[in-house]
Structure 1
């Protein structure tokens, strides 16, 4: 049996693609190193696992790729480089019983598109040698729109109504999501912690960070509520370890009905409002002071001009 094929690989339809942050960072780094000035797309190989129609993309590596802008049918992908990189990944992951370890295997390839190209089906056909049903993930590295900058596809055979016509492959879009475990979230948070936009004030940045944190908290609370709801109706079996962690979360939440805590919130709010009010008063006083100084200077300027005019008239008279 081919060592490239894993028992976890499935040739059935793909339901969803999960993309880890490390993959997105690697794709952006590949583009910035190779094609940032030329605006040409870059291509690489995706690694991960595939089980029951869900493809989990956890790693990737770049592959040298060239194509003619005027003629899409002329392109080249460095197979030797790809085979060498794949061999090194096999050595790192190890093999089990003639199969590549289920940690990571080839699941498809990526492109910075930002859209599908005419030669993508030809490139996609190459990856059928490594996985029965490969995926293509197109990442728009220059996207300015909110949301996930990725689109995932896999190819299917398109039948023809006329039996004499030859069937052909077409791409089918599949939903994609960004998936990250706790360790990856912490790592990405550290990477983005010092990335600041100098055109935005510190206050605006802090407010934006607070808003993002509140949205993240709201999403996690909704997920917990959804899980507990399915637990009540018997959809999931009881997991006492998960319930203990949820109880710890609840225990860390403050009791907002305690009079001392309510008073503390009111005092804190009043202190903040007092500072804002005092700041507004100081700004108003400074503005009035500048206005009075400006009027005094203007009066002195008018007196000096009048004195010059009188001196000029007396001299000529």
Structure 2
């Protein structure tokens, strides 16, 4: 299965602008600009998008037993000059008579409406595919996508480069469409733009967990959260098993099935005595006292806050009244 370099994804301060200056080899000149465009917008890519694309490619390859291109849509939002690519979903495509991929617009429109209800702030900001570089039919596909929304981005993920041993770069190129004059005619082409990786806390936990999953589906070490929860689960399970053993032993002694060991019974009695007694009058009295003290502190804080607000109102009233009295005395 496809596994991209997770160390680069976890580094939220990593900037890929310096790595996008490599021209798209063997791509047609009318399709991709040779130089990287700085652009006036700042693009931010979330790890969830990379995981979705990788999972989409892996599932298709596993089902068809062959490597095939996959297509999908990029969702996000723009705030000023900052464009965040936050989510994605796969789409259905068809092949026309010329052998060029085209999106199934009916399916795309339905999925966009569904996502709009769940994520009202997200909008269509681009599309993605898996390939080593921009293909010949990608411009035609991009034009079809632009009918849904203008000025879309095009993200290309290279699954072959992701499997190269020792590869430390994220095999992703981000493009925006521009109009260039070719043979004295305005022609649309792709221009590579820089992007940054950014993530929220939930994404960092998910990526950390995925990074430790082996191809077999097992985890060799697991994420920090998984290890912490696993330790707690193991401790509680062991405690529950030992309590069951003590309970069964006491039941057997009580029923006369086995002879009781007085030394062991004294240890069990000592262990039970160390447990907090929650049904005694002393505990109820101490608990009620602590509860009343907590409520008293809360009430005192509320009274203090209300007193401060009243003092502010009085000060404002006195200030306004003094000014009014002075004006009336002057006139």
User: TM-score normalized by structure 1?
Assistant: 0.50
Bigger shift: 167-176 or 71-80?
A: 71-80
Deviation at 1:194?
4.1
Partners of 1:158 and 1:169 within 8 A in 2: yes
Q: Tell me the residue number matched to 1:157.
A: 179
Residues 1:193 and 1:74: Cα distance change in structure 2 (over 3 Å): closer
- The yes-or-no answer on 1:64 pairing with 2:92 is yes
Q: Tell me the residue number matched to 1:187.
A: 206
Deviation at 1:85?
0.5
Q: Tell me the residue number matched to 2:159.
A: 141
Partners of 2:102 and 2:141 within 8 A in 1: no
Describe how 1:65-214 pairs up with structure 2 within 5 A.
65-67=93-95, 73-93=99-119, 101=120, 103-142=121-160, 143=162, 144=164, 145-160=167-182, 165-195=184-214
State the alpha-carbon separation in 1 of the partners of residues 43 and 210 from structure 2.
Answer: 24
Deviations 1:86-130 (A, max 9, x none): 01011113xxxxxxx3x2110000000121001111111122233
Describe how 1:212-227 pairs up with structure 2 within 5 A.
none
Deviation at 1:135?
0.2
For 2:185, what is the secondary structure of its paired residue? Answer: coil
Tell me the number of residue pairs that the alignment of Structure 1 and Structure 2 aligns: 178
Residues 1:159 and 1:107: Cα distance change in structure 2 (over 3 Å): same
State the alpha-carbon separation in 2 of the partners of residues 54 and 73 from structure 1.
Answer: 37
Deviation at 1:197?
9.3
1 or 2 for the larger relative contact order (CA 8 Å, sep ≥6)? 2
Q: Which consecutive unaligned segments of at least 5 residues does structure 2 have? A: 1-38, 224-331
State the alpha-carbon separation in 2 of the partners of residues 65 and 147 from structure 1.
Answer: 29
State the alpha-carbon separation in 1 of the partners of residues 142 and 153 from structure 2.
Answer: 8
Q: Tell me the residue number matched to 1:301.
A: none
CA RMSD of aligned residues (A): 3.0
Q: Tell me the residue number matched to 1:256.
A: none
Residues 1:47 and 1:141: Cα distance change in structure 2 (over 3 Å): same
Partners of 2:103 and 2:144 within 8 A in 1: no
Deviations 1:172-203 (A, max 9, x none): 000123221222111221233343899xxx9x
Deviations 1:53-106 (A, max 9, x none): 4321111110112448xx86533321111111001011113xxxxxxx3x2110
For 1:84, what is the secondary structure of its paired residue? Answer: helix
Residues 1:116 and 1:63: Cα distance change in structure 2 (over 3 Å): same
For 1:121, what is the secondary structure of its paired residue? Answer: helix
State the alpha-carbon separation in 2 of the partners of residues 72 and 38 from structure 1.
Answer: 23
Deviations 1:135-164 (A, max 9, x none): 00001123222211110001111025x6xx
Q: Tell me the residue number matched to 1:49.
A: 77
State the alpha-carbon separation in 1 of the partners of residues 135 and 78 from structure 2.
Answer: 25
Partners of 1:16 and 1:176 within 8 A in 2: yes
